[in-house]
Amino acid sequence: MTKMPLLLLAALALVVSGCSLPWTPRTAMVWKRVVPAGDCHCADGSQFAFWERRADPAKVVLFLNGGGVCWDAETCAFTSTEIPGESDFYDWNLEGTNPENRSGMFDTTRGDNPFAEYSYLYVSSCTGDAHLGNASQKYSPTLTVEHHGYVNGTAALDYLAEHYPDAEEVVVVGKTAGSVAAPLYGALVADRLPDAQVTVLGGQSGAWPDHPEFNTKILDETWGAYDAAPEWAVDGLAAQDWGVPRFWTQAGLRDPDLVMARFDFAYDPHAAVEVTQWMDGDPPDLLAEIDRNETAIEAAGVALHSYTAPGDDHGIFDFENAFYDTEVEGVRLVDWIEELIDDDDPPDDVRCDRCDP
Could you tell me where the DSSP H helices lie in the chain? 6-17, 149-163, 177-180, 182-192, 212-213, 225-228, 231-234, 244-254, 286-299, 320-325, 333-342
pLDDT of 74-87, one tens digit each? 999 999 888 899 99
Q: Is residue 153 in a domain?
A: yes
Instruction: Write b or e for each residue in 203-233: b if 16 or more Cβ atoms lie within 10 A of its Cβ, otherwise e.
Output: bbbbbbbbbeebbbbbbbebbbbbebbeebb
264 has which bridge partners?
A: 308
Q: Is residue 36 in a domain?
A: no
Q: Is residue 1 in a domain?
A: no
Cα 204 from Cα 215, distance rounded (Å): 19
Percent of the chain with pLDDT over 70: 93
Q: Is residue 12 in a domain?
A: no
Residue 4 has pLDDT above 90, yes or no: no
pLDDT at 7: 40
Cα 315 from Cα 204, distance rounded (Å): 8
Structural domain of 171: 43-351
Q: What is the mean pLDDT of residues 290-305?
A: 97
Percent of the chain with pLDDT over 90: 85
Q: Is residue 6 in a domain?
A: no
Cα 244 from Cα 278, distance rounded (Å): 12
Q: How far is CA 290 from CA 98, 213, 265, in A?
A: 31, 19, 10
Residue 20 has pLDDT above 70, yes or no: no
pLDDT at 101: 81
Q: Is residue 13 in a domain?
A: no
pLDDT at 98: 87
φ/ψ of 70, rounded to 5, equals -155, 160
Q: Is residue 71 in a domain?
A: yes
How many domains are there within the chain? 1
Cα 292 from Cα 257, distance rounded (Å): 24
The whole model's pTM is what?
0.92
Instruction: Check residue 48 and report its DSSP letter.
Output: P
Cα 336 from Cα 315, distance rounded (Å): 17
Which of 231, 234, 286 is closest to 264 using CA atoms?
286
Q: Identify whether 99 is preceded by a cis peptide bond (ω within 30 of 0).
A: no
pLDDT at 24: 57
The CATH number of residue 226's host domain is 3.40.50
Cα 340 from Cα 237, distance rounded (Å): 30
pLDDT-based confidence at 17, cuts 50/70/90?
very low
Cα 65 from Cα 224, distance rounded (Å): 20
Cα 66 from Cα 174, distance rounded (Å): 7
Least confident interval from 8-12, 34-38, 298-302: 8-12
pLDDT-based confidence at 210, cuts 50/70/90?
very high
**CA Rg value for the chain:** 20
User: In 3-state terms, what secondary structure has residue 17?
Assistant: helix
Residue 343 CB neighbours (<10 A): 10
Residue 3 has pLDDT above 90, yes or no: no
Q: Is residue 313 in a domain?
A: yes
pLDDT of 50-76, one tens digit each? 999 999 999 999 999 999 999 999 999
